[in-house]
Structure 1
Amino acid sequence: MSTRSTVDFDVVVVGGGPSGAVAATDLARAGRHVLLLDRAGRIKPCGGAIPPRLIRDFEIPDHLLVAKATSARMIAPSAKQVDMPVGDGFVGMVDREIFDEWLRARAALTGAERRTGNFERLDRDADGCAVIVYTECRGGAEHRVRTSSVIGADGARSAVARQELRGADRVPCVFAYHEIVKSPPASSDFDPSRCDVIYQGKFSPDFYAWVFPHGETSSIGVGSAHKGYELRDAITRLRADNGMAGCETIRREGAPIPLKPLKRWDNGRDVVVAGDAAGVVAPASGEGIYYAMAAGRFAADAIAVFLDTGKPAALKQARKRFMRAHGKVFLVLGMMQHFWYRNDKRRERFVKICEDKDVQELTWQAYMNKELVRKKPMAHFRIFMKDVGHLLGSTA
């Protein structure tokens, strides 16, 4: 049930990251009149890892992959190192500055109209129609766009979510910061095909630090939920420890990363949120690109049904479908983060568990395919028994 004759757009997508760009692309492909509104100069701090399922589901061309990681190295507080080879296949690595812009450009080529501006607020006209108010620059003249529906994909601390959804301002976050540097030559300390994940309290008291290869550049980052924790200082020390202090710094970025899906994604009327705005970054791993894009697709599907039927209840399907597909993974990862990241003693045991070949195989299968692995029940049983042993020995 489109009201294009009385509105400027069928849907306005606020935010042009992976979630918003996917939603805009899907709706434009379906023949909807779409506005993709994104502010200029935003690059999210991100390790840039994307699994094969993302590459397949969202048709990502090979030229966007700046590197292909074939292993991960887990580093414990004691400096113990556990290598986890991927096996067959690889994890794609992208530079978010290039990747996000390509996704926005694809949305435009598909038929979405792109505009650069800052979302200010959502107003209502006398007939109740949603009006997106934005400015081309802070303090500039306001522009008003009437729309039948809105997708808020404007990241953590989403202005759309805060205005339209109760409780959206209370989502727990990890604060992430990274520096993109020129990659050093390959060595025993730096492998351009390996992602290093560092579980050491001296760099992050409650999360982890990372060194991820991006081909000619690398992402060196850290996350923590502790307000006031000196993330930049942690990166300076991490670079010194890794022999990367002298690497040229290309850019620096920081942002809050939500680690819990909102209990509600829609306003029961004409707005639904997706991506970081919906809180869909995986706990423990901090992985967000795939889940953001999946949420964007579910949001687009829900909006399409809403536009056809005029029934706001259709908007609830975005969250229902996402949680049906990924809710169990988020639950398991949330429990992992709560227990294993609490202190260095537990982190040490966590890295020790990662030595187990069953753990490695099932972890990679779940990551690459984005679903919990139900095969090999004996492998799960062995992992369970080993995990119980570690839990009983970890009282701190």
Structure 2
Amino acid sequence: MPALETYDTVVVGGGPAGATAATDLARRGRAVLLLDKAGRIKPCGGAIPPRAIRDFDIPDHMLCAKITGARMVAPSARQVDMPIDGGFVGMVDRGPFDEWLRERAAKAGAVRRTGTFERIERGADGLSILHYRDKESGTPRSVRARTVIGADGAVSQVGRQAVPGADKVPMVFAYHEIVRSPEAGVGDFDPARCDVYYQGPLSPDFYAWIFPHGDTTSIGTGSMKKGFALREAVAQLRRATGLDACETLRHEGAPIPLHPLKRWDNGRDVLLAGDAAGVVAPASGEGIYYALAGGRLAAEAVDEALATGDARALALARKRFMKAHGRVFFILGMMQRFWYRSDWTRERFVGMCRDPDVQRLTWQAYMNKELVRAKPAAHVRIFFKDVATLCGLARP
């Protein structure tokens, strides 16, 4: 039999996490194979904060819209506007954005292949043999890998085969429809504003959304409740907002993890990143920035493991991620469990969003991806306002 190609790293999955890991490793001089299914677009609001644009060199031409505010809609239909003071959130279309990331990896030196991952076996020399099916020819192929990064989504086949507990992450099931955007001023549509709906009929335990992407708009919802009619909820939202007349271009659905896995590696040569590692923020469902960051940390950990021959370095990816973002994930998780549990609590949550302190600290934390610690007086004011709202001493 002919000798198999050997790579320092095979990255399975070409989304933001996998493509970033492949780019960074290739730039470090590693032999990298980036294996991606292609043709799959994840249902996603498409928001990326300024920190992601800065840290990962996202060019302006990849932004199809710049959002300058959000509108929160309560169960009672009350609306609270949250303008961004002097900044914006970038919006991307995941189809061209993910392809641009994969092309950047190729330009950095990664080898691109289109195919479907099937399994990992162990060779006689101890290295992993990764089997996949080529998309164009349909033929099975194999390569040897010193390390493998599984960035193949929430239901990661790499994770399920190689990392204990990878199938134990809670999921939100998300569905959205991409429509052709109406003209500004049609109905209540604003191309520079994201609308978030906290209403039981649209989502009993998460939220529904309208996120403009320039020429197109994402209209979607999510829920952890099995059997909830996601499509009907989106249809209801479109009817209520007058967007049912817009042309539907495509629709997508997928599970989205909302809790980082307790373990991201197998202790030997496999490491997970992105959705496969569960790094989607609770409460908000934001994943692009955390996928980019997780992919970079995965590349650093794999490079260190290859350089030292010490597989324990793989665990550094999770350790460093949780040090940087674990507290934010913990707080957002508590917020989702408490504030999203009923329309009564969500009514009060939206009411609190009217507060200027809440708006200021929320946007600062979101835009910079870190908790704001420099304003203790504002945190104290928010605490007492929260208590007053929950006890019925203040109007929600």
TM-score tier (shorter) = over 0.9
In the aligned structure 2, how far is the partner of 1:119 from the partner of 1:323?
28
In the aligned structure 2, how far is the partner of 1:242 from the partner of 1:136?
44
- Partner deviation per Cα, 1:203-255 (whole Å, 9 max, x = no partner): 00000000000001100010000111110111111100010001000110000
Paired residues of 1:7 and 1:148 also in contact (CA < 8 A): no
Q: Please report how far the alpha carbon of residue 186 of structure 1 lies from its aligned counterpart in structure 2 after TM superposition.
A: 1.2
Which residue of 1 is the match for residue 285 of structure 2?
A: 286
With normalisation by structure 1, the TM-score equals 0.97
2:233 aligned counterpart, secondary structure: helix
Report which stretch shifted further, 6-15 or 280-289.
6-15
Letter in 2 for 1:27: L
In the aligned structure 2, how far is the partner of 1:139 from the partner of 1:383?
60
In the aligned structure 2, how far is the partner of 1:295 from the partner of 1:392?
40
Paired residues of 1:118 and 1:138 also in contact (CA < 8 A): no
In the aligned structure 2, how far is the partner of 1:298 from the partner of 1:6?
28
Equivalent runs, 1:219-258 vs 2, <5 Å:
219-258=218-257
Give runs of ≥4 in structure 1 deviating > 4 Å: none
Q: Say whether residues 1:180 and 2:178 are aligned partners.
A: yes
Letter in 2 for 1:226: K
In the aligned structure 2, how far is the partner of 1:82 from the partner of 1:276?
31
In the aligned structure 1, how far is the partner of 2:128 from the partner of 2:5?
9
With normalisation by structure 2, the TM-score equals 0.97
Report which stretch shifted further, 129-138 or 194-203.
129-138
Equivalent runs, 1:32-51 vs 2, <5 Å:
32-51=30-49
In the aligned structure 1, how far is the partner of 2:138 from the partner of 2:245?
41
Which residue of 1 is the match for residue 54 of structure 2?
A: 56
Paired residues of 2:34 and 2:112 also in contact (CA < 8 A): yes
Which residue of 2 is the match for residue 215 of structure 1?
A: 214
Q: Please report how far the alpha carbon of residue 375 of structure 1 lies from its aligned counterpart in structure 2 after TM superposition.
A: 0.9
Q: Please report how far the alpha carbon of residue 138 of structure 1 lies from its aligned counterpart in structure 2 after TM superposition.
A: 10
Which residue of 1 is the match for residue 331 of structure 2?
A: 332
Paired residues of 1:153 and 1:275 also in contact (CA < 8 A): yes
Q: Please report how far the alpha carbon of residue 341 of structure 1 lies from its aligned counterpart in structure 2 after TM superposition.
A: 0.4
In the aligned structure 2, how far is the partner of 1:7 from the partner of 1:143?
10
In the aligned structure 2, how far is the partner of 1:276 from the partner of 1:9?
24
- Partner deviation per Cα, 1:322-352 (whole Å, 9 max, x = no partner): 0000000000000000000001011100000
Which residue of 2 is the match for residue 125 of structure 1?
A: 123
Paired residues of 2:11 and 2:33 also in contact (CA < 8 A): yes
Q: Please report how far the alpha carbon of residue 137 of structure 1 lies from its aligned counterpart in structure 2 after TM superposition.
A: 4.0
- The 1:161–1:139 alpha-carbon spacing in structure 2 relative to 1, beyond 3 Å, is farther
In the aligned structure 2, how far is the partner of 1:171 from the partner of 1:140?
32
Paired residues of 1:51 and 1:91 also in contact (CA < 8 A): yes
Which residue of 2 is the match for residue 155 of structure 1?
A: 153
Paired residues of 1:203 and 1:234 also in contact (CA < 8 A): yes
Letter in 1 for 2:82: M
Letter in 2 for 1:146: R
Which residue of 1 is the match for residue 15 of structure 2?
A: 17
Gaps of 5+ in 2: none
In the aligned structure 1, how far is the partner of 2:137 from the partner of 2:30?
31
Paired residues of 1:15 and 1:38 also in contact (CA < 8 A): yes
Report which stretch shifted further, 131-140 or 170-179.
131-140
Which residue of 2 is the match for residue 110 of structure 1?
A: 108
Q: Say whether residues 1:135 and 2:133 are aligned partners.
A: yes
Which one of 70, 86, 89 corresponds to residue 88 of structure 1?
Answer: 86
1:169 aligned counterpart, secondary structure: coil
Letter in 2 for 1:372: L
Q: Please report how far the alpha carbon of residue 48 of structure 1 lies from its aligned counterpart in structure 2 after TM superposition.
A: 0.3
Letter in 2 for 1:113: V
In the aligned structure 1, how far is the partner of 2:268 from the partner of 2:386?
46
Which residue of 1 is the match for residue 29 of structure 2?
A: 31
Which residue of 1 is the match for residue 188 of structure 2?
A: 189
% identical aligned pairs: 68
Which residue of 2 is the match for residue 298 of structure 1?
A: 297
- Partner deviation per Cα, 1:20-71 (whole Å, 9 max, x = no partner): 0000000000110000000021100000000000000000000000000000
Which residue of 1 is the match for residue 258 of structure 2?
A: 259
In the aligned structure 2, how far is the partner of 1:257 from the partner of 1:42?
15
Paired residues of 2:33 and 2:112 also in contact (CA < 8 A): yes
In the aligned structure 2, how far is the partner of 1:114 from the partner of 1:165?
25
Report which stretch shifted further, 127-136 or 346-355.
127-136
In the aligned structure 2, how far is the partner of 1:23 from the partner of 1:387?
41
Q: Please report how far the alpha carbon of residue 6 of structure 1 lies from its aligned counterpart in structure 2 after TM superposition.
A: 8.7
- Partner deviation per Cα, 1:117-145 (whole Å, 9 max, x = no partner): 00001111112110110002499321110
Which one of 95, 102, 124 corresponds to residue 97 of structure 1?
Answer: 95
Paired residues of 2:175 and 2:231 also in contact (CA < 8 A): yes
